Structure 1
Amino acid sequence: MSRFKRGARVDSRAGFRQEKEDCPVPYGLLKAARKSGQLNLSGRGLTEVPPSVWRLNLDTPQEAQQDLSFGAADRWWEQTDLTKILLASNKLQNISEDIKLLPALLVLDIHDNQLNSLPESIGELEHLQKLVVSHNKLTELPAGLWRLTNLHCLHMQQNQMERLPPDLGQLVHLEDLDLSNNLLTDIPESLSNLTNLMKLNLSCNKIKSLPPSISEMKSLKMLDCSRNQLESIPPVLAQMQSLEQLYLRNNKLRFLPELPCCKALKELHCGNNQIEVLEADHLKHLNGLSFLELRENKVKSLPEEITLLQGLERLDLTNNDISSLPSGLGTLPKLKSLSLEGNPLRTIRRDLLTKGTGELLTYLRSRIQEPPNGDLREEPKTAMTLPSQAKINVHAIKTLKTLDYSEKQEASIPDEVFDAVDGSPVTNVNFSKNQLTAVPHRMTELKDSLADINLGFNKLTTIPVDFSKLQQLVHIDLRNNLLSSLPTELEALTQLRSIILSFNRFKSFPDVLYHTSSLETILISNNQVGGIDGVRLKILNRLSTLDLSNNDIMQVPPELGNCTSLRALMLDGNPFRNPRAAVLSKGTDALLEYLRSRIPK
């Protein structure tokens, strides 16, 4: 007869269990945290943090109580203090005062919970550098928080804060502060004490005005005040000498801000306001802008002074009331993107608007009133005038510094075209939409001044090594050719900021681009590129736009997520399975975050 009573339940693991089965945090995870100094408890459905987490570096671990021999991997007495804890996306309603038992913490992430308050003892985490409490229900902050003077990053977006205490100004080492999506109506004057702050997000609040003292934040590079109730911007904002990006979308502005000294400003976003008039006094201070966004306003016309924006690369005027465009707009040397959809333009044919920015700017330049006898080259005294000479706009060479010989469908550029330059400094060359099979060898004659070259829509199969002599080049357009490689010598183009290689025959990402650290824009869509090196790409710390759509990329390297300078990353139309379309649709920031999360630890 069996030794066991009928119906009795036998636990085969009895005597071996070292933890309670209902413990929400596996003991193995805590054990690993003692070695690494990092503990990730995100997304575990926690309603409270187990006391064993706060006492991780105090309590003697279980293995120390057993009569076992330890190998090098199990030396519990060599544990590391916890420096990073992630508690995001749980159901926490409060954080214990025992958090003070983790004094070595550098990073604390408790976003996406149900917190109504933070413990006063958080102020004892004197080494804390990053605190993320976004997406909670916080209405106020503990006084102890202002003792965290080593904080570099503080994210409090998506809470229910109605006011900020003046003590916020004590966090003098802050570099990144996100207060977006709260209920703030103003910001304290003490914010001006944050002289190390480089990024400030105040978007999606109820702020009606900015304090003049904000101008004392000399290190600030990005200021986002979108979706507030601002009616004007204090002129002293111009004293923020480092400001590069200013977001003022969805406010109540009637004029562009006057920023007379803000020479570093590259991007000004003023969409969805009530701006009706662009005045020369406002534009003359914005000559360093590369992007001006004015979509969804009530602008009726552009002044001729728009030509003052010599550095402008993108201009967004979508959905305004503009009926005509000044011809001078066509002379902006760096303008690559002009968005005009939703305007009642009457003086420009609709079919011309659909041909793209380049065609439109060419048309506007052609409307400029030229002086008598100044538009054509003088006829040679010893020879008859060649037919090609009638196509050379000498006035454009002399006044606009532009050599335009596009849309001629010719297999080579006649010498007369280069002869017409006659020593003038040419900054722009447009030889697009011809039948060129080789880059004109006389191009190097323009090496001292040429900054922008368009060779798109030709039949080029190679780029010559001599191209590297054009060391003033800033923009290169080589789209719609037959290129499959670029010479390594192009690394010498140290001023190059953008290159367009779309619709060619590249099967791999050009190696030389990894070495061109000045690049800000790379467009290489619609090729056959099979992969990208995310580690090498990170060297391009100025790269903000990368278009790899419609290629043959089978795997997206997780390391691409470390390219944090990217603001626009296009990957659609490739055969990879991950990231899925749902991730791609969330935008560049979400995509980079997803890729970073997949980097092997």
Structure 2
Amino acid sequence: MSRFKRGGKAPDPLSGFRAPKEQESAVPFGLIKAARKSGQLNLSARGLTEVPVSVWRINVDTPPEAHQNVDFGGSDRWWEQTDLTKLILASNKLQALSEDISLLPALVVLDIHDNQIASLPCAIRELTNLQKLNISHNKIKQLPNELQHLQNLKSFLLQHNQLEELPDSIGHLSILEELDVSNNCLRSVSSSVGQLTGLVKFNLSSNKLTALPTEIGKMKNLRQLDCTSNLLENVPASVAGMESLEQLYLRQNKLTYLPELPFLTKLKELHVGNNQIQTLGPEHLQNLSSLSVLELRYNKLKVLPKEISLLKGLERLDLSNNDIGSLPDTLGSLPNLKSLQLDGNPLRGIRRDILNKGTQELLKYLKGRVQTPDMTTQEAANPPDTAMTLPSDSVINAHAIMTLKTLEYCEKQASLIPEAVFNAAASSPITTVNFSKNQLTEVPARIVEMKDSVYDVNLGFNKISSISLNLCMLLKLTHLDMRNNALASLPPEMEALTRLQSIILSFNRFKHFPDVLYTIPNLETILISSNQIGSIDPIQLKKMTKLSTLDLQNNDLLQIPPALGNCESLRALHLEGNPFRNPRATILAKGTVAILEYLRSRIPT
């Protein structure tokens, strides 16, 4: 009789090679078995403090089922196993990787991000087939020179570590396409990066760089370069040699001037906000023919050159929080400009109501200044006899109606618009109506007569308590000013105003954010401050992909939903004067970008 027959157990001959029991139990046998067939093993978020030996030896040792399975049919042919090509060990508690990693030479993808790893093993040099290596969100301070042997590496992610330098050996990764070293402690970049001529994306943001190597200009295939949040005081002239560059981020540095980029004919986005740039000249603009986004917020610009008109492809121009006092008329000639941000500038010579009407109205105003020469002194002193006297003893300027297509009857304190006013405009295609600063209690019914032409209506500073259906029939309406009235709601029929780009509803009686606004697809600007609004729907706001300005100041918002941070289209968000506790005033003072980042950080994960 065997001495193990009665309840005894034979000793395990492989016991000395097995990982601790708790680690093996975290990696079910079924996962290992499936990985031998698929070549992929995902062990993320399993609380691992070390990698079980069975994982490293997955393609070396004979699997246990080989001793049990005598069936040569079906899908359990253990001898037909596949080499492991993808290993994910992310979001565990690993502090190191074993040198046994050399037993997995077929690996193409290795993902160990979000652990506590302080260094990489020298054996990593054996992973010569590796194409993607993600070691981000660890505690790595130094990279081993053995990395230079990874000649097939295309994507190398190192963000959120403690690196103080990149070794010269990084230049040997000749076919690297993506390199992310953001959020480290880099004070300099090795000149060897100039050898990475195949690099497409290079992220250097959130480090301590004071300069970039001249050799960086050799990256002829680079499309995206991100140097945000560093200490750069200048950019090497060689950057102009990056002929494939499409996106250049230089925000939050110490630049005092904009770099000249004469050969970057493919550049589409240039972000240089939060610097100390004082001048912008034609030499900075003349070769950027493909530029669609120019971001210059939070600088010290005082003048915008008239050569801005050279940027014919420009779609978004952000000049917020500079020292610009006036705008060149040539800005109105940019055919594709959809978003112009000017908050925080001491602009003079342009009425505030025009600035509040949105980008398109401002551009039309600037364009009109080019086309309509100023009156001579004599003409101003002796205006032509084109005025029409109405029974109300008010004068309507026929020149404004016939030439400017504008119908004005404002600041009269009138409770009704005289019929003669509408009659005077009957034969002209009126585009702008201004009936502000009167005592109107309703929208004039005859405004519907202009439905085929009017795109701008100002009924601000009246006593209107509801929007009539007549106004909802102005299907070409792009700008509507209803500030300082008695509105508490908007009719659902307003969803027909699909061309509406800006609406001003400040100083009314809204207790709820008007639901109909969520349904108007082209809205760029919503000014609804100084009401009694208690909540907003961030999910609906996120769907408004063109919304760039939202003013909710001085309402009754008790909380700001974190999901509002996902509204990526917002460029100006104003929340001051509400009773919420977070974000605090210090965050609000930093501006829209900081507010959105703060809100996103509070979204539960």
Give the C-alpha shift of residue 51 in structure 1.
1.9
Give the C-alpha shift of residue 389 in structure 1.
2.0
Q: Could you say which residue in structure 1 is the equivalent of 2:45?
A: 39
Matches within 5 A, 1:498-517: 499-517=503-521
Amino acid at match of 2:118: L
Does 1:379 find its partner at 2:395? no
Q: Could you say which residue in structure 1 is the equivalent of 2:396?
A: 389
Describe the superposition over 1:528-578 as per-residue Cα deviations: whole angstroms up to 9, x where unpaired.
Answer: 333333444443455555554544445555554554555666556555567
Amino acid at match of 1:528: Q
Q: Could you say which residue in structure 2 is the equivalent of 1:86?
A: 91
For residues 53 and 567 of structure 1, what CA distance do their matches in structure 2 show? 49
For residues 504 and 287 of structure 2, what CA distance do their matches in structure 1 show? 30
Amino acid at match of 2:285: H
Give the C-alpha shift of residue 175 in structure 1.
9.9
Amino acid at match of 1:50: T
- Residues 249 and 430 of structure 1: is their aligned pair in 2 closer, same or farther, counting only changes over 3 Å? farther
Q: Could you say which residue in structure 1 is the equivalent of 2:272?
A: 269
Q: Which one of the candidate residues 282, 286, 310 is aligned to 1:279?
A: 282
Q: Could you say which residue in structure 2 is the equivalent of 1:67?
A: none
For residues 422 and 260 of structure 2, what CA distance do their matches in structure 1 show? 42
For residues 383 and 587 of structure 2, what CA distance do their matches in structure 1 show? 55
Matches within 5 A, 1:86-485: 86=91, 94-97=96-99, 108-110=112-114, 115=118, 121=124, 132-133=136-137, 137-138=141-142, 142-143=147-148, 147=152, 149=154, 155=159, 159-162=163-166, 165-166=170-171, 170-172=175-177, 174=178, 178=182, 182-185=186-189, 188-189=193-194, 193-195=198-200, 197=201, 201=205, 204-205=208-209, 206-207=211-212, 211=216, 216-217=221-222, 220=224, 224=228, 227-231=231-235, 243=247, 247=251, 249-253=253-257, 264-265=268-269, 268-269=271-272, 272-273=275-276, 275-276=278-279, 278-279=281-282, 282=285, 293=296, 295-297=298-300, 301-304=303-306, 314-316=318-320, 318-319=322-323, 325=326, 328=329, 337-340=342-345, 370-371=374-375, 379=386, 387-390=394-397, 393=400, 398=404, 416=421, 423=428, 426=431, 435-439=439-443, 456-465=460-469, 467=471, 476-485=480-489
Contact 1:39 1:85 in 2 (8 A): yes
Describe the superposition over 1:70-117 as per-residue Cα deviations: whole angstroms up to 9, x where unpaired.
Answer: xxxxxxxxxxx9957336xx9x87555567999798864338x68355
For residues 490 and 167 of structure 1, what CA distance do their matches in structure 2 show? 62
For residues 388 and 524 of structure 2, what CA distance do their matches in structure 1 show? 48
Q: Which one of the candidate residues 509, 533, 550 is aligned to 1:529?
A: 533
RMSD: 6.2
Give the C-alpha shift of residue 460 in structure 1.
3.9
- Residues 274 and 416 of structure 1: is their aligned pair in 2 closer, same or farther, counting only changes over 3 Å? same
For residues 588 and 515 of structure 1, what CA distance do their matches in structure 2 show? 25
Q: Could you say which residue in structure 2 is the equivalent of 1:539?
A: 543
SS of the aligned residue for 1:188 comes to helix
Amino acid at match of 2:532: Q
Amino acid at match of 1:132: S
Amino acid at match of 1:510: P
Amino acid at match of 1:51: E
Q: Could you say which residue in structure 2 is the equivalent of 1:592?
A: 599
Q: Could you say which residue in structure 1 is the equivalent of 2:66?
A: none
Describe the superposition over 1:446-501 as per-residue Cα deviations: whole angstroms up to 9, x where unpaired.
Answer: 66776666555544433344555555555555444433333334444555555554
Give the C-alpha shift of residue 132 in structure 1.
2.5
Describe the superposition over 1:244-269 as per-residue Cα deviations: whole angstroms up to 9, x where unpaired.
Answer: 9774852242667568856954x653
Describe the superposition over 1:314-372 as per-residue Cα deviations: whole angstroms up to 9, x where unpaired.
Answer: 534635xx7x746748979975635335xxx9xx69xx99999569x999999986235
Amino acid at match of 2:175: Q
- Residues 317 and 594 of structure 1: is their aligned pair in 2 closer, same or farther, counting only changes over 3 Å? closer
For residues 183 and 291 of structure 1, what CA distance do their matches in structure 2 show? 28
For residues 45 and 387 of structure 2, what CA distance do their matches in structure 1 show? 81
Amino acid at match of 2:345: L
For residues 485 and 284 of structure 1, what CA distance do their matches in structure 2 show? 50
- Residues 184 and 260 of structure 1: is their aligned pair in 2 closer, same or farther, counting only changes over 3 Å? closer
For residues 423 and 163 of structure 2, what CA distance do their matches in structure 1 show? 63
Q: Could you say which residue in structure 1 is the equivalent of 2:62?
A: none
Contact 1:475 1:496 in 2 (8 A): yes
Amino acid at match of 2:234: L
Contact 1:376 1:389 in 2 (8 A): no
SS of the aligned residue for 1:109 comes to coil
| Structure 1 residues without counterparts, runs of 5 or longer | 1-24, 42-48, 60-80
Matches within 5 A, 1:544-583: 546-554=550-558, 556-557=560-561, 559-560=563-564, 562-563=566-567, 574-575=578-579
Q: Could you say which residue in structure 1 is the equivalent of 2:50?
A: 51
Give the C-alpha shift of residue 160 in structure 1.
1.5
Contact 1:238 1:262 in 2 (8 A): no
* Superposition TM-score, scaled by structure 2 size: 0.60
Which one has a bigger Cα radius of gyration? 2
- Residues 159 and 517 of structure 1: is their aligned pair in 2 closer, same or farther, counting only changes over 3 Å? farther
For residues 192 and 464 of structure 2, what CA distance do their matches in structure 1 show? 57
Contact 1:522 1:546 in 2 (8 A): yes
SS of the aligned residue for 1:389 comes to strand
Give the C-alpha shift of residue 504 in structure 1.
3.4
For residues 507 and 180 of structure 2, what CA distance do their matches in structure 1 show? 39
Q: Could you say which residue in structure 1 is the equivalent of 2:17?
A: none
Aligned residues: 523
- Residues 146 and 518 of structure 1: is their aligned pair in 2 closer, same or farther, counting only changes over 3 Å? farther
Contact 1:179 1:201 in 2 (8 A): yes
Amino acid at match of 1:387: S
Contact 1:255 1:277 in 2 (8 A): no
Give the C-alpha shift of residue 138 in structure 1.
3.8
For residues 263 and 422 of structure 1, what CA distance do their matches in structure 2 show? 48
Give the C-alpha shift of residue 182 in structure 1.
2.3
SS of the aligned residue for 2:232 comes to coil
Contact 1:410 1:435 in 2 (8 A): yes
Amino acid at match of 2:50: P
Give the C-alpha shift of residue 594 in structure 1.
2.9
Describe the superposition over 1:277-319 as per-residue Cα deviations: whole angstroms up to 9, x where unpaired.
Answer: 533883796897676526544x565545567789676534635
Give the C-alpha shift of residue 188 in structure 1.
3.4
For residues 391 and 287 of structure 1, what CA distance do their matches in structure 2 show? 43
Contact 1:134 1:157 in 2 (8 A): yes
For residues 249 and 447 of structure 2, what CA distance do their matches in structure 1 show? 36
